[in-house]
Structure 1
Amino acid sequence: MLANAPEDTVLICRTLALIILYYTFSICLTFYNKWLFKGFHFPLSISLVHILVKFGITAFIRECYRLVYDQRTVWLSWQSYIRRVSPTAISTALDIGLSNWSFLFITVSLYTMSKSTCIIFILGFSIWFRLEEFKASQISVVALVSGGLLLFTYQSTDFNLFGFILVLSASFIGGLRWALAQTILQKESVGLANPIDLMFHLQPIMAITLLPLAVFIEGPSLALSSQVFRAANLGDALWTLFLILIGAILGFLLSLSEYFVVLQTSGLTLSISGIFKEICTLSIAFTLGGDKINLINFMGLVVCIAGISLHVYMKAQAVLKKNTAKDYNYQRVETI
């Protein structure tokens, strides 16, 4: 047991570092997108540009790795690509696209609270895919999170039904996304255990998924926009492109940190570890962003966080119990 202590410490420190990076990039990107979409009302088109930029970055990194280490990079067969990667790519594209679209209609606080329900859907899909075991106590977690969200949105002055449906749909699809991503990252037989390889293979199908939505919903308005194609001068167009690229880089760093957390732990752990991030995001939204909240909404916030915290406690207890059982069996073997 003592022999594994240094390795466990390194693993814990590495996981904490990844989670802190995930917090930082996620909070920055949330407020950046909200600010950007106030003046640039094309979230689907921006998401599409972000996907293309991330594809270019991952392709560049893979090529550098090939040249430096003189090793072949991972390429999947078309059959494996369509069967293994496409479900994850489609769900990822819809999750990101719908999440960004919802910023046009709802506040950061409502977005954050609604997106926190992703833990329910991750739990459901993880049980369905047999990544997690079902326990009766998990029903209380679902009830608390759902009830907290209901109270948080009750008589909210900034509530928008369409935006709420968008972000809740993104939360549902996000649950599927992370359960599928976990199966890919943690299965060596797939060959995409490296997050850079996974992101590289995801982006093309993500772009194909979002392109029709962006063209149909935003195409005509974007073509007539004075911010891009009909900009007054080249400088304005380049400034808009620069702002979009900043979001793309933040999105790449966020995705990379998320996939590394899932690789080290699980998609459920990624959602659970977001508790402190959600509190930070909501605190900034209420104090600096001007979001409003009444007493009932605040009670909903407390109930929702209590539900997620309960799940953290249950998860920690299960891990502790599992490790204790391993140590006991190890000691028995040593005694024998």
Structure 2
Amino acid sequence: MLKVFIIVLFYYPLSIGLTFFQKSFLTNFHYPLIVVTGHYITKYLVGYIGRWMVECRKKTKRVRLSFRDQLRYIAPIGICASFDIGLSNWALEYITISLYTMTKSSSILFILFFSIIFKIEKLRLPLAINSLLIAAGLFLFTWKAEQLNVIGLFLVTLASLCSGVRWAVSQLVMQRDDSQITVRNPLDMIMHVQPWMLLAILPLAWFFEGAELMNESKAFDGYSVVLNIFLGGLLAFFMELSEYLLLVNTSGITLNIFGIVKELMTLLLAHYLNHDKLSFINMIGLVLCLTGMIFHAVNKHKKALGSNRINVGSDAEDARRLLLAEVNEIA
């Protein structure tokens, strides 16, 4: 529990800080895809150095997946993660942090959907009710929003869909029993995923922003831009590291509760720092969203407790049978 608490202490400021940092930086530098590309390069270089240091210290080679396994399991994670992060940063150019945060929280719907598709979860009535609560909350939250931008809303919704695929497949890879393709170490996961993320974002960055950046490059302070991209990349690296650590070390209930608290903190900070406006209907939507998330977390907790009771009961029954067998042998 202490380990998880320490991870969360790193995750919250990194995640919230990166959101506000990116919003501020992109206000003056309108090339979100170029910025994200720089982040991916930074994360790969930092991860490469970190993994090399770990290998030198332990004198053992880290896990390396074959190209076939990477193509089957890692490529979908990398491509979806690339679009998730890239589109999210792009959306911040058009919408407020409040609207971005609540719309991005719809990723829970997509995570549930793909978890059912990949047979990680089973479709149940509580699951459907929770999903409807969150969907209704998101609809009301964006209802007649003064700062609503259709392009920004579309981009962040598409990013949420990519996030659903990303985390569902990540859970399969990091928690499955097949030791040949399991990547449990977050550093190894980052190193395998980053090249695919970079490969996916480069064509988009060049097509949408490359020519314009080349024409206006003299209008920017190159050193300042590179420094801000590097700092953002460092924040993104450690945030992604903490996300994978939480995925490996916590249950779904814990991860969801942490997410709910983080959304609340981000919204409150956006309201007070950036003066983002929320109407009464938007607030009702917020309450419905959070209610759906909390109910989902509670249901996951009940399911986990039931599973533990079954396991304990099975262990006790096995022990009883073993004891009776030993008694019969003695007799």
Over alpha carbons, which structure has the higher Rg? 2
Closer, same or farther: CA 298–198 of 1 in aligned 2, 3 Å = same
List gaps (5 residues or longer) in structure 1.
1-11
What is the aligned counterpart of 2:51 among 62, 74, 95? 62
What is the aligned counterpart of 1:324 among 309, 324, 329? 309
Partner of 1:212: 203
The 3-state SS of whatever aligns with 2:233 is: helix
What is the aligned counterpart of 2:31 among 42, 49, 69? 42
Partner of 1:203: 194
Stretch moving more, 325-334 or 22-31: 325-334
Asked whether the 8 Å contact 2:256–2:297 carries over to 1, the reply is no
Query: How far apart are residue 85 of structure 1 and its match?
Result: 1.2
1:150 aligns with 2:139: yes
Closer, same or farther: CA 47–203 of 1 in aligned 2, 3 Å = same
Asked whether the 8 Å contact 1:178–1:267 carries over to 2, the reply is no
List gaps (5 residues or longer) in structure 2.
322-331
Asked whether the 8 Å contact 1:122–1:268 carries over to 2, the reply is no
What is the aligned counterpart of 1:230 among 218, 238, 256? 218
Query: How far apart are residue 74 of structure 1 and its match?
Result: 2.3
Q: How many residues align?
A: 319
Closer, same or farther: CA 267–166 of 1 in aligned 2, 3 Å = farther
1:118 aligns with 2:107: yes
Aligned 1:121-140 pairs, distance under 5 A: 121-140=110-129
Q: CA RMSD in A?
A: 1.6
Query: How far apart are residue 324 of structure 1 and its match?
Result: 2.3
Structure 1: which amino acid aligns with 2:136?
A: G
Distance 1:80 1:129 in 2: 17
What is the aligned counterpart of 2:241 among 256, 263, 282? 256
Q: What TM-score do the two structures reach when normalised by structure 1?
A: 0.91
1:92 aligns with 2:81: yes
Closer, same or farther: CA 81–177 of 1 in aligned 2, 3 Å = same
Structure 1: which amino acid aligns with 2:140?
A: L
Asked whether the 8 Å contact 1:110–1:153 carries over to 2, the reply is yes
Query: How far apart are residue 271 of structure 1 and its match?
Result: 4.5
Q: What TM-score do the two structures reach when normalised by structure 2?
A: 0.92
Partner of 1:105: 94
Distance 2:196 2:319 in 1: 52
The 3-state SS of whatever aligns with 2:125 is: coil
1:183 aligns with 2:172: yes
Identical columns (%): 36
1:307 aligns with 2:307: no
